[in-house]
Amino acid sequence: MSLSRTRNAQHKVYIPTSARENQYLMAKFPLTDQLLEKYADLIDESATEPYAKFYQALADQFFKINDEFSIESSEFIANDKFARVRFSPEKLTTQTKQQVLFLYNPEYHTSQNTFFRGDLKAKKITLIFLANGTEVRVQAPKFHQQVKQAINKFSDQLGINKASVRVSDHQHLTYDLFAKHKGIEGSQVHKFRSMTNRYLADEHNLPENLDGLTYAVVDFPINRRIRALAKNKVSEPGCYNELYNLIADAFISAAKGQNLYNGAVIANGLVPIVRKGEDENVIASGELLMLGFNPAHSSCGYTCKWESNKLVDTIQLIFVACDQDKTSHGYGKFVNQIELALRDFAQRIDFVNDKEEMLVRLHQHIGFYLD
């Protein structure tokens, strides 16, 4: 094989045909006094739920606009909870104290729902748009355009300052790294081009002021075999420290062996939320663990957070791409490095490829203000 063909092959990633696709867009804007004043006739401060009619009126406008733009699935949130979306063969929406979690299959499940507390003056309104169909990734630019038109019209109707509307586009691709060992035949080829380039190819220009982040979250289950890798004396303080250290050391060594230097190991039961930030930081907030990474920095290192007295069902292993990982082809080489690192990691812990599942979820995000 020629050198040029070899280099080109480095940027192609072969993903199992069982891979699952997600896309959702989110728009957030503050609930200002000006907006409340505009709908003052719907707000009864003496009622037990003074804002209920107001929220419902906004939601009705929102859903009507979505119908006009043929957007099948959308959610209106006014309870200041963090929204998360994941693929699931069964449709389920669940709430915790801090989160609203949407589990659905884009091919079959549709919904229009409201989530608000009539007694709460929310800090912000969050609008969620869930992609539907069989070719989510291929249709992503078209869906992005539909959603942006809907957000613009909704903002115009409400008289919202568009410079205050934050829009983010989230795309996931999830698969079992060892699907082939479990009898899954065939593969699909990806180069993981940046969302900007993919949208440009579809003649859709994105704002110049956008920011983006690409990363992978690996769900690594802790079963009985894994627990037995270390001597866990449950009666002693810090009884799981040895186990977590063993896994973290194996993972980080394998990652660095593939020149991957940005990431995290999370084993404390919190939900890791990876975001772009000027400075690298870790902030625990109730159920959530906010992880800030600056993609301009190529060697942020690995953040390790666990509770040595607590055994978790799943450890999250995280890889974050830096700007240098983005090539003219895309992020394919970065994803291949991740796969090689994980296969090395699996060998170090004697992973049972045909029986144990290692789910890799690849994230590509962009964010920008509407105006």
In tens, the pLDDT along 173-212 reads 999 999 999 999 999 999 999 999 899 888 888 888 899 9
pLDDT at 125 exceeding the cut of 70: yes
Q: How would you class 217 by CB atoms within 10 Å of its CB: exposed for 0-12, middle for 13-18, buried for 19 or more?
A: buried
pLDDT at 5 exceeding the cut of 60: no
| Buried residues in 301-331 as b, exposed as e (16+ CB within 10 A) | ebbbbbebeebbeebbbbbbbbeebbbebbb
The confidence score (pLDDT) of residue 76 equals 98
Q: How many Cα atoms sit within 13 Å of 163 on the Cβ side?
A: 0
In tens, the pLDDT along 238-286 reads 889 999 999 999 999 999 999 999 999 999 999 999 998 877 789 999 9
Q: What pTM was computed for the model?
A: 0.93
Structure tokens at 240: 């799981």
Q: In this structure, are residues 173 and 361 in contact, taking their beta carbons and an 8 Å threshold?
A: yes
pLDDT at 214 exceeding the cut of 90: yes
pLDDT interval class at 299 (50, 70, 90): confident
The average pLDDT across 220-227 equals 95
Q: In this structure, are residues 80 and 119 in contact, taking their beta carbons and an 8 Å threshold?
A: no
What is the dihedral sign for C-alpha 191, 333, 23, 297?
negative
User: Helix H segments across 71-209?
Assistant: 140-158, 195-201
More reliable by pLDDT, 150 or 4: 150
Structure tokens at 105: 């299959």
The confidence score (pLDDT) of residue 4 equals 46
Q: Which residue from 89, 90, 87, 85 is spatially nearest to 74, judged by alpha carbons?
A: 85
The average pLDDT across 90-106 equals 96
Residue identified by tokens 């063993």 is 246
The confidence score (pLDDT) of residue 7 equals 55
In residues, how long is the chain?
A: 371
In tens, the pLDDT along 163-179 reads 999 999 999 999 999 99
Return the domain boundaries, the chain.
Answer: 20-172, 213-369
pLDDT at 366 exceeding the cut of 50: yes
In angstroms and rounded to an integer, the radius of gyration of the C-alpha atoms of the chain is 22
The confidence score (pLDDT) of residue 8 equals 60
Distance CA 104, CA 107 (A): 9
The confidence score (pLDDT) of residue 16 equals 96
In tens, the pLDDT along 320-340 reads 999 999 998 899 999 999 999
